[in-house]
Chains A and B, each alone.
Chain A
Amino acid sequence: MAVTPLSVVPVVPASEDLAVYPLALRGLTVSYGQKPAIFSVDASFVPGQMTAIIGPNGAGKSTLLKAALGIITPLSGHVTVFGKALVDQRQRIAYVPQRASVDWDFPTRVIDVVLMGLYRELGLLGRIRRSHHDRAMACLTRVGMQDFATRQIGQLSGGQQQRVFLARALAQNADLYLLDEPFAGVDAATEKAIIAVLKDLRDAGRTIVAVHHDLATVAEYFDRALLLNVRRIAEGPVDQIVTPDLLERTYGGQLTMARMDPAQTAS
């Protein structure tokens, strides 16, 4: 198998076929200093399904995505994407970071951000042709932002910015979409628009994994859920996972949240 295990002990049973999973994590541990942000997490994300990653602040939800993408180097454990090492599969993944992670005052237009999604195709100096431009516009149309193509990105509302990020991911035409808090700070109309696009992607056979924080909408929006609080608590279909008992085990009342130092555990 074309993976590079980071840990010495082989944690994957030889019989398990990781190739069926768009994303599989085995024994993934990430630490920012003394305390682990996520500890020995196993997770297999099911193809053609929408999975929510749920857990309290500081549970390591964003860290899990970043480690899966290689943005953060894990202490141990490994990641496979469609059964292969991440580096060989980058073109099949689209990542939507938290909206607040970038400076929206950056001098660029909406259409230019969407065209960034074509970087792997265009390369360093590939010319942006009519067809590229049309594809970027089509992605903007799918998220209802076609009338904002030439706006500077700083002039958009939070919801509009999130839609532009989603349009950029659509331009990547990936098989696996990883989204970090796609509904954070967006208006109701945007939330509906985003979920409709994600469900379309799923119905077309793509796999969606999103960090989500609104327990009220998990069952409505997602097919499956991964409950996380540093360790993996549970994973499965939403109706079996989003239960009072398991949520209590994940959130542990509000005590866990109160003890967390937000500066240290920003996820």
Chain B
Amino acid sequence: MSGQVFVALSLTPLLIGVLAAIACAVPGNFLLLRRQALIGDAISHVVLPGIVVAFLVTGRVSAWPMMLGAAAAAVVAVVLIEVIRRLGRIEPGAAMGVIFTAMFAGGVLLLEQSDTSNVHLDVEHALMGNLESLIWLDALGWTSLLDPRALAGLPPELTRLAVVTALVAVLTWLFWRPLKITTFDEGFAHGVGLPNTVIGLGLVILSAVAAVAAFDAVGSIIVIAMFICPPAAARLMTNRLETQVALSVLLAALSAILGYIFAGFGPLWLGFDNSVSAAGMIATVSGLMLLAAAIVGPHRRQT
């Protein structure tokens, strides 16, 4: 593949895939250790009503209002889950189950009741995203990376995900100690004056922001997979949180790159004509990595 074709057709989907994977995998480490890993699944369901409401308000399919609607719905869901968990004194999984089913159902009803027949709002798009279509038509080759006019034509999803990934990285670095201490030992954390509730909510809201940005570009399958698979695989390969988070970033990026390549060329190598969904393949690769780590990882739970 020549440089021109690669930069125009593959570079941006690859970068978007990698950034989406990393933005979800980093908070995923903490969610996993707090036994809240399913929050990614919950968020990708609850954003549906937010997207539909944003569409009803603005009357058209445009990215920023829908992102805002989705983010608002995610935050509402997160707060409701916390409220139910604390007031009902039930485990977080049950609280999530109640909220995300109810909100997803509400979204479906809204979608049915509103006139969306003439626009492209469908389940397939929500699941798979459209990673392959996020191409950079202004690019003429590697030199376009230095050309401001060509750079202006980058897909907006790339810019949004770059900002969100940077936000995730900076906040995780800044609040590393509070996150680690509150995740390990809430009682002790309280004793030294750390606000457990604020940190827990902050983590989940950051996860929601990452999920919504990634969801918009790559669909919910990657989001759900990346919150769980790279952190879980990394946990099985090390006994230190610092190493675990670094490894999860590597595994997430690797899943995105390998998944994209396999989706595009794998079927051709096997003698089929068509390529397959990159989102599906990326999630599958991350699942296979987790399987491999579960079989040969050096730090599987000792019994």
Give the distance in Å from the alpha carbon of A244 to the alpha carbon of B125 in the complex. 74
- A106 vs B184: C-alpha distance when bound (angstroms): 7
- Given A109-B239, A124-B177, are A90 and B185 also a contact pair (CB < 8 Å)? no
Q: Report whether B181 and A93 are in contact in the complex, using a CB–CB cutoff of 8 Å.
A: no
Q: Which residue of B lies closest to A104 (CB)?
A: B184
A106 B181 Cβ-Cβ under 8 A = no
The listed residue (B178, B181, B191, B244) touching A107 by CB distance below 8 A is B244
What chain A residues lie within 8 Å of B142 (beta carbons)?
none
Please report the C-alpha to C-alpha distance between residue A236 and residue B243 in the assembled complex, in whole angstroms: 50
> Across the two chains, which residue of chain A brings its CB closest to B241?
A107
Q: How far is the CB of B180 from chain A (nearest CB, A)?
A: 7
Contacts of A68-89 to chain B: CB distance below 8 A: 69-71, 87
Size bin of chain B's contact surface: 20 to 34
Within B216-251, the residues touching A (CB, 8 Å) are 235, 238-241, 243-244
Inter-subunit contact B190/A69 (CB<8 Å): yes
Known A-B contacts A107-B235, A124-B177; A168 and B193 likewise in contact (beta carbons under 8 Å): no
B190 lies within 8 A of A70 (CB): yes
Task: Across the interface, name the chain A residue whose C-beta is closest to B243.
Answer: A107
On chain A, the residues within 8 Å of B178 by CB distance are 124
How far does the Cβ of B124 sit from chain A's closest Cβ, in whole Å?
A: 38
Given contacts A97-B188, A152-B239, are A106 and B183 in contact (CB under 8 A)? yes
Bound complex: CA A96 to CA B190 (Å)? 11
The answer, yes or no, to whether A95 is at the interface (CB within 8 Å) is yes
Q: How far is the CA of A120 from the CA of B185 in the complex (A)?
A: 15
Which chain B positions have C-beta within 8 A of A97? 185, 187-188, 191
- Identify which of B175, B190, B299 contacts A124 (C-beta below 8 A): B175
Cross-interface CB contact of B240 among A87, A102, A109, A122, cutoff 8 Å: A109
Q: Are B177 and A119 in contact (CB under 8 A)?
A: yes
Which of A98, A105, A168 neighbours the largest number of chain B CB atoms within 10 Å of its CB?
A: A105
Bound-state CA distance A190–B177 (Å) is: 29
**Which residue on B lies nearest to A125, using beta carbons?**
B174
Smallest distance from the beta carbon of B221 to chain A beta carbons, Å? Answer: 27
**Min CB–CB distance A157 → chain B (angstroms):** 13
Q: Is B301 an interface residue (CB 8 A)?
A: yes
Interface string of B114-129 (1 = CB under 8 A from A): 0000000000000000
Which residues of B from 167 to 196 have beta carbons under 8 Å from A?
Answer: 174-178, 180-181, 183-188, 190-194
What's the Cα separation between A96 and B244 when bound, in Å?
Answer: 27
Query: Which residues of the other chain, A, contact B193 by a CB distance below 8 angstroms?
Result: 87, 90, 120
The answer to whether A102 touches B185, judged by C-beta atoms less than 8 angstroms apart, is: yes
Contacts of A152 in B (CB 8 A): 239-240, 299
- Interface size, A (range): 20 to 34
Tally of contacts, chain A with chain B, CB under 8 A: 82
Q: How many angstroms between the C-alpha atoms of A125 and B174 in the bound complex?
A: 7
Q: Across the interface, which residues of B come within 8 angstroms of A98, CB to CB?
A: 187
Report the nearest A residue to B184, measured CB to CB: A106
Task: Give the residues in chain B near A123, CB-CB below 8 Å.
Answer: 177
What are the residues of chain B within 8 A of A119 when measuring CB–CB? 177, 181, 192, 194
B302 located at the interface, meaning its Cβ lies under 8 Å from any Cβ of chain A in the complex: yes
Q: Which residues of the other chain, A, contact B238 by a CB distance below 8 angstroms?
A: 107
* A105 and B33 alpha carbons, distance in the complex (Å): 9
Residue among B33, B191, B193, B238 facing the most chain A CB atoms (10 A cut-off): B191
Docked CA distance A120–B193 (Å): 9
25 contacts between A and B (CB under 8 A): A69-B190, A90-B193, A95-B188, A95-B190, A96-B188, A97-B185, A101-B186, A102-B185, A102-B187, A103-B184, A106-B183, A106-B184, A107-B235, A107-B243, A108-B239, A108-B240, A116-B181, A119-B181, A120-B193, A123-B177, A124-B176, A124-B177, A125-B174, A152-B240, A152-B299
Given contacts A107-B238, A116-B180, 17 further A-B contacts (CB under 8 A): A71-B190, A90-B192, A95-B187, A95-B188, A97-B185, A97-B187, A98-B187, A107-B243, A107-B299, A108-B241, A109-B240, A116-B181, A116-B185, A119-B177, A119-B181, A119-B194, A124-B178
